Structure 1
Amino acid sequence: MKTAIVFYSRHHGNTKKLLDAIAEKYPVTLIDATKNPSPDLSGYDAIGFASGIYYSKYHKSVLKIAENIPAGKKIFFLHTYGAKKEGYFKSIEAAVSGKQAEILGGYECFGFNTFGPFKLIGGIAKGHPDSDEISGAVKFYEQLSK
């Protein structure tokens, strides 16, 4: 399965840590959504979308690419967040709706967050993603690739 993962990961690189672990073990193409805002995804069997969560949504650069994917692709999602809350997948699922995509699933875990007011208190979710969460992302991808 030829796979690309479109991502946005800044601040502490939480999401990129998950992707680097996956890419170390599996042949995936990582596409930074800010460096390549219009990637050609037509040649990929599966497309992943990965981001930190910003105001309860995936980053706008990832959402924009997701809205323009070719129809009929296998899709999966990964994200990191500072605080656990239901509904983080909604923004990315809405972006790919109407594309006849086969949604394979999603993986989420904590990520160290010092964005906005959290900086004043030294951040939240310190030490995340930890080794278990990173291994969990690799296992998630392993299950998808079978």
Structure 2
Amino acid sequence: MKIAIAYYSQHHGNTKKLLDAINVTDDVKLINVVECKEADLSDYDVIGFASGIYFGKFSDKVIQFAKSNLPSDKQVFLINTYGVKGNYTKEMQKIIAEKSCQLLGIYGCRGFDTFGPFKLVGGIAKEHPDENDVNGAIEFFRKIIEDEKQVYS
């Protein structure tokens, strides 16, 4: 099974920390959308999108990458890190639906955040993603892959 994850993780590396842990457990193609604007994802069985949350949504770079590169009829999952818990995946879910893809799941956890007023207090969620957050991302990913392997068997 071929798996790709397109991601944006620039400020504190919160999202990349989760992806590095996932990538140790499985062979996954990580695509940094800052370095790669276009990619042929048609050969991948499962495609993930991962981002920190910026202004209440996934990074604009991930959103644009998904709009331009996500093929139709794919299995998709989302991973995000945030300072404050909320529902930040609406725009990504809309793109997934427009491309007739199936959303397999969403994983989100806190990540160190120093945006705006949080900078004045030294940031929030300073220890995140922590070991529990990383293990949660690994388990989320393993479950998706296990479920998909059963489909392909």
TM-score normalised by the shorter chain: which range applies? over 0.9
Q: Aligned residue for 1:80?
A: 81
- Percent identity (aligned): 49
Task: For residue 98 of structure 2, give the secondary structure of its aligned residue in structure 1.
Answer: coil
- Matches of 2:118 and 2:6 in 1, distance apart? 27
Q: Return the alpha-carbon distance in structure 2 between the equivalents of residues 45 and 62 of structure 1.
A: 19
State TM-score, norm by structure 2.
Answer: 0.92
Q: What stretches of structure 2 of length at least 5 have no aligned partner?
A: 147-153
Query: Which deviations, in whole Å up to 9, do the C-alpha atoms of 1:34-78 show, x marking residues without a partner?
Result: 100111111101100000000110000100111131101100000
Distance 2:34 2:94 in 1: 20
Unmatched tracts of structure 1, length 5 or more: none
Structure 1 partner of 2:108: 108
Instruction: Tell me the TM-score normalized by structure 1.
Output: 0.96
Q: Which amino acid aligns with 1:98?
A: E
1:97 deviates by 2.2
Q: Does 2:60 match 1:60? A: yes
Deviation at 1:81, TM superposition (A): 0.2
Secondary structure class of the residue paired with 1:31: strand
* Alignment coverage as a number of residue pairs: 145
Deviations 1:79-133 (A, max 9, x none): 0000112x21112112222211011001000000012221111001110000010
Which has the larger share of helix?
2
Match of 1:130 in 2: 130
2-structure distance, mates of 1:21, 1:42: 25
Looking at structure 2, the residues matched to 81 and 65 of structure 1 have their Cα atoms a distance apart, in angstroms, of: 20
**Structure 1 position 36 matched with structure 2 position 42:** no
Higher mean alpha-carbon deviation, 37-46 vs 10-19, is at 37-46
What CA distance in whole angstroms lies between the structure 2 residues aligned with 1:115 and 1:31?
A: 25
**CA distance in 2: counterparts of 1:20 and 1:57, whole angstroms:** 22
Match for 1:104: what amino acid?
A: L
Q: What is the SS of the residue equivalent to 2:73? A: coil
Return the letter of the residue paired with 1:75: V
CA distance in 2, matches of 1:10, 1:129: 15
C-alpha RMSD of matched pairs (Å) = 0.8
